Amino acid sequence: MKFSLTWLKDHLATDASLADLAAAMNRIGLEVEGIEDPAERLAGFTVAKVLTAAKHPDADKLQVLTVDTGTGDPLQVVCGAPNARAGMMGVLGQPGAVVPSNGMELRKSAIRGVESNGMMCSVRELELGEEHDGIIELPDDAPVGHSFADYHGSSPIFDVAITPNRPDCMGVYGIARDLAAAGMGTLKPIAKPAFTTTGACPTEIRTDDAEGCPAFYGRVVTGVKNGASPDWLQQRLQSAGQRPISLLVDLTNYLMLAYGRPAHAYDLSKLSGAVFARRAQDGEQVLALNEKTYTLDSQMTVIADDQGVHDIAGIMGGENSGCSESTTDVLLEIAYFNPERIGATGRNLGLSSDARTRFERGVDPAFLEQGLDLLTGLIVELGGGAASEAVHAGSPPSTAKIVTFDPALTQKLGGVAVDLAEQQRILESLDFTVDDSSAAWAVTVPLRRHDIEGPADLVEEVVRIYGIDDIASAALPRAEGVASPTASAEQKLERRVRRAAAGRGLNEAVTWSFLPVPEAEHFADGLQLWVLDNPISEDMKAMRPSMLPGLLTAVKRNMDRGASSLRLFEIGRRYFRNTDGSSNEKPTLGVVLAGEKVARGWAAGKAVHFDAFDAKAEAIALLADAGAPIEKLQIMGEAGAQFHPGQSGTLRLGPKNILARFGALHPSTLDAFDVDGPVVAAEIFLDAIPGKKGNAGFARTAYAPPVLQSVMRDFAFLVPADLPAADLARVIKGADKANIVDARIFDVFAGKGVPEGKKSLAIEVILQPCEKSYKDEDLKAISDKIVAAAGKLDAELRG
């Protein structure tokens, strides 16, 4: 939530500095994520007066101005604005200033042969609005030579993170209340402009859905002039990141941002008959203000008239009844909606808004009448018109919660001793009512504080206002002796693999565990997904069934920013739902290689891209670092529909235990994530790696180099063309385990001299004598075993 210091001081009388206010907000639980000072962006821009304006000698649409900047020495500026003229007051950006809208640094330059010392600026160029048809025109009494930032009154802007349990602080007034309670100033009373009513409301207002909309307040205001908002109002909305639209729309947004109270203004001329809250009908549709059409159901509350729906209650108004510049008569609506209903409706429609954020967390049910009168008074004061009497249909929750509170709990739970009088002062400054007639206080909770449920919540209120920094640190007790290791075998494995991946030049990524449902379904492989009922957003609704979707999103984000080579890995959890409904979490390592493996150059020529063998090499190397028996791995297919069927595979221990899958991603997968290929990936299932038995791994066998020199023998076999080379190497290694220590494929050949349907595999076999050197008959016996073992795979020794 953003707001300016000026806006805060509308409600808080304070002399505290910007830094002190920020520190106080952090101290009381309102985290300040940043402070922006617009004056810094306007440095170098000065209030200036145009003395003369003459046509440019070499351009029809340009003028040459002489501009007074208050220094006594006028500057010459070339300007193309149609409203530039002698005698007007404007804003000059002098050489060295940076234009906020495009980051361009102004310099002295020649434009069509005429020297120009800066630029006269428009509203859009200074990011003060959207107007750009001409340069800024200031009042005639604007001080020439004065800093425009100071003249404009640019105020620092706070960016504060409001936690979901504090909807009472989703308005500037609520934040001012908390700061006043923390001793940072005095809370000002809400100033309500006076107005008189002219009679009964001409439009019937009611609620036909008491559950979804317990209270619906409204009135009609006629004869309003709906023009542009005054500068003070526009500045406050702009500080909050809102774009000013018109007086009526801006005032409803102001009420929401200042007091946390969403409201809506309907163009009365677009309504027909009574206006009321009701349940939607199944299949009913509404065109919302975001120009999208939504299909409703009977579990949703809407605001409608006799002709149909105009508003998705508590979330977004309808396009067909919205106010425009020609609007003169309005129906104002302020209602209290069921928070659970608002949340469910927003999730089902995939629709978020500032109003929904506040309604589903709980607005102040006691602020309806006051909020309606405040909005009416501002409209009448700024836009004129005549207001009818208010209609109060239904009634909001009005029974305040009373919590029995023992003040001694503050020290017991909060760890800090706070005087009883100070505890009472803090609670009363936050609008709690305290009855201290007995040892256990009876504390009445304000209706807006939906987060207060019991005594522990009151302790939190006292402690955060008193000062969390005042709580002394206390070390936890520690038993004597050497601490036992706390990391589990799974944690140690993940740490080891993480270091290994980083050591291989991969960059670690940390992505969300949540995905959009379509992306999760693409990697679900028929398993049941975990889908959240109340997600942070529609794009974070499903728990990830694979590590690859998040990594692919990271690949796209980096490639869109110009990255040419990406080597990413992530260690995390995959999530599935078991058939019995229980959770299933699997520790997994994901690797994605994208872009150029080797950049183009004079030696390499064209750039070389990653291929499936690179993914395979990473998978095998990381499995080895994880302690998997890689010498026993079998390479098989069926990597999944997300992978290219001819360029992928799996690494297994037996036909069912899949340790990893690797390969080039299928074009359909790349299309689904909008990634330009080729992209290769690997996924290692850490939970499938067999653990060490007994005490294996705690003590390493002493290294004893062999006494005798190893012997190498090469063999060439004709094998079926579809036989994996690794299968041949594996069976040869097992032909004589006492003597054969390794076998490596070093050549593959198919062509002239090789029968059709066959290929030639050349393999290097390393033999290690143990007690004595080999004799010819020993080598022949081993060779016979090798040939016999290869024969089991339909391989024959090549002549």
**Dihedral (C-alpha) 347, 350, 352, 358: value to the nearest 10 degrees?**
-10
Share of the chain above pLDDT 90, in %: 74
pLDDT at 655: 85
At residue 133, the pLDDT reads: 84
Residue 703 belongs to some domain of the structure: no
Q: Give per-residue pLDDT as tens, 368-400.
A: 999 999 999 999 999 999 999 999 999 999 999
pLDDT (average), residues 563-588: 88
Q: What is the mean pLDDT of the chain?
A: 91
DSSP string, 639-673: --TTEEEEEEEEEEETTTEEEEEEEEEPHHHHHHT
Q: Tens digit of pLDDT for each residue in 494-551? A: 999 999 999 999 999 999 999 999 999 999 988 888 888 888 888 889 999 999 999 9
* Backbone φ and ψ of 709, nearest 5°: -75, 145
Q: What is the widest separation between alpha-carbon atoms in the chain?
A: 119
Same-domain pairing of 162 and 28? yes
Which run of H or E residues covers position 258? Answer: helix 247-259
**Same domain, residue pair 338 and 387:** yes
Q: How far apart are CA 143 and CA 89, in angstroms?
A: 9
Distance of CA 289 to the CA centre of its chain: 24
Q: What is the pLDDT of residues 219-264, one digit of tens each?
A: 999 999 999 999 899 989 989 989 899 999 999 999 999 999 999 9
Average pLDDT of the segment spanning 599-622: 89
Give residue 542's pLDDT: 92
Is the C-alpha dihedral spanning 618, 619, 623, 628 positive or negative? negative
Q: Report the DSSP beta bridge partners of residue 760.
A: 718, 749
Average pLDDT of span 176-180: 96
At 606, is the pLDDT very low, low, confident or very high (cuts 50, 70, 90)?
confident
Tell whether 495 is covered by a domain: yes
Residue 696 within any structural domain of the chain: no
DSSP class per residue in 39-83: HHHTTTEEEEEEEEEEE-TT-TT-EEEEEE-SSSS-EEEEE--TT
Name the CA dihedral angle for 243, 245, 246, 252, rounded to a multiple of 10 degrees.
-60
Q: Are residues 607 and 633 in the same domain?
A: yes
Q: Which residues pair with 207 in a beta bridge?
A: 277
For residue 695, being part of any structural domain is answered with no
Q: Pick the closest to residue 552 from 645, 643, 649 (CA basis).
A: 643
Q: Is the pLDDT of residue 701 over 90?
A: no
Residues 548 and 607 in one domain: yes
Query: In the block, which residue shows the tokens 């909008």?
Result: 674
Across the range 473-477, mean pLDDT stands at 81
Torsions phi, psi for 356 (to 5 deg):
-60, -45
678 upstream amide cis, omega within 30 of 0: yes
CB 683 within 8 A of CB 661: yes
The pLDDT tens digits for 308-342 are: 999 999 999 998 888 998 999 999 999 999 999 99
The CATH code of the domain that includes 378 is: 3.50.40.10
- Do 45 and 22 lie in a common domain? no
Q: Which amino acid is it at 321? A: S
Distance CA 257, CA 260 (A): 6
CATH of the domain at 439: 3.30.56.10
Q: Which of 468, 499, 519 is the last residue of a domain?
A: 468
- Considering only residues 580 and 501, tell me which one the structure prediction assigns the higher pLDDT: 501
508 Cβ contact list (under 8 Å, min separation 6): 498, 501, 502, 568, 569, 570, 571
Is residue 482 situated within a structural domain? no
- Domain extent, residue 790, equals 711-797
Number of domain units in the chain: 6
Strand order in the sheet with 441-444: 402-405, 441-444, 433-435
Question: Residue 451, annotated ligand binder?
Answer: yes
Mean pLDDT on 119-142: 88
**d(C-alpha 703, C-alpha 719), whole Å:** 38
Q: Which two tokens stand for residue 99?
A: 């234009």
Query: Cα separation of 62 and 90, whole Å?
Result: 17
The yes-or-no verdict on residue 695 having pLDDT over 60 is no
Could you give the CA distance from residue 292 to residue 128 in angstroms, rounded to a whole number? 29
| Annotated binding residue 519 | no
Q: How confident is the model at residue 693 (pLDDT cuts 50, 70, 90)?
A: low
Kindly report the CATH number assigned to the domain that includes residue 84: 2.40.50.140
Burial 741-773, CB ≥16 within 10 A → b, else e: eebeeeeeeeeeeeeeebbbbbbebebeeeeee
Q: Is residue 215 part of a domain?
A: yes
pLDDT at 481 exceeding the cut of 70: yes
Is 478 part of a structural domain of the chain? no
pLDDT of 604 > 80? The answer is no
DSSP string, 326-386: T---EEEEEEE--HHHHHHHHHHHT---HHHHHHTT---GGGHHHHHHHHHHHHHHHH--E
On whether both 382 and 407 belong to a single domain, the answer is no
pLDDT at 651: 93
pLDDT mean over 165-194:
94
Tell me the C-alpha distance between 24 and 177, whole Å: 12
Residues 379 and 262 in one domain: yes
Determine if residue 525 is labeled as part of a ligand binding site.
no
Give per-residue pLDDT as tens, 720-763: 998 888 889 989 988 998 899 999 999 999 888 889 999 999 99
Exposure of 472 by Cβ count < 10 A (0-12 exposed, 13-18 middle, 19+ buried)? Answer: exposed
Residue 293 belongs to some domain of the structure: yes
Find residue 161's DSSP bridge partners: 31
Identify which of 258, 277, 288 has the alpha carbon closest to the alpha carbon of residue 375.
Answer: 258
Distance, C-alpha 165 to centroid of its chain: 19
**Four-point Cα dihedral 461, 463, 465, 466, nearest 10:** 150
Q: Are the C-beta atoms of 327 and 248 separated by less than 8 Å? A: yes
Q: First and final CA of the chain: distance in angstroms? A: 80
Q: Is 461 annotated to bind ligand?
A: yes
Of 113, 91, 111, nearest to 42 by C-alpha is 91
HSE on the CB side for 373, CA within 13 Å?
15
What is the rounded CA–CA span in Å between residue 373 and residue 334? 10
Convert the pLDDT of each residue in 47-70 to its tens digit: 999 999 999 999 988 999 999 999
Query: CB-based burial of residue 50 (10 Å sphere; 0-12 exposed, 13-18 middle, 19+ buried)?
Result: buried
CB 343 within 8 A of CB 362: no
Q: By the 8 A CB rule, do 609 and 676 touch? A: no
Q: Which residues pair with 763 in a beta bridge?
A: 715, 745
Report the CATH number at residue 560.
3.30.930.10
User: What is the reported pLDDT for 143?
Assistant: 93
Q: What is the pLDDT of residues 660-677, one digit of tens each?
A: 999 999 999 999 999 987
User: Which helix or strand (DSSP H or E) is residue 250 part of?
Assistant: helix 247-259
**pLDDT score at 371:** 96
The per-residue pLDDT for 591 is: 97
Element (H, E) at 5: helix 5-11
Residues 362 and 448 in one domain: no
**Alpha-helical regions (H) of 127-171:** 148-152
d(CA 189, CA 632) in angstroms, rounded, equals: 78
Are 508 and 363 in the same domain? no
Asked whether residue 169 falls in the same domain as residue 303, the answer is no
Distance of CA 683 to the CA centre of its chain: 26
Could you tell me the CA-to-CA distances from 499 to 50, 624, 699 in Å, in that order?
66, 13, 21
Task: Write phi, then psi, for 597 (nearest 5 degrees).
Answer: -80, -40
| DSSP single-letter state for residue 135 | B
Question: CA 244, CA 775: separation in Å to the nearest integer?
Answer: 94
Contact 403/454 with Cβ under 8 angstroms? yes
Q: Given this model, what pLDDT does residue 694 score?
A: 55
For 622, the enclosing helix (H) or strand (E) is helix 612-625
- Average of per-residue pLDDT across 184-207: 94
Residue-level pLDDT at 669: 94
Q: Which residues of 307-337 are buried (b: 16+ CB within 10 A; e: fewer)?
A: eebbbbbbbbbbebbbbeeebbbbbbbbbbb
Task: Give the sign of the dihedral formed by CA 643, CA 648, CA 651, CA 655.
Answer: positive
Final residue of a domain: which of 394, 422, 449? 394
User: Are 376 and 253 contained in the same domain?
Assistant: yes
Give the pLDDT confidence of 410-444 residue by residue, as tens digits.
999 988 899 999 999 999 999 999 999 999 999 99
| Backbone phi, psi, residue 79, to 5° | -140, 140
HSE value, Cβ hemisphere, 13 Å, CA-based, for 90: 28
* Mean pLDDT of the region 196-221: 95
Domain co-membership, 169 together with 287: no
> Looking at 378, 394, 410, which one is the last position of a domain?
394
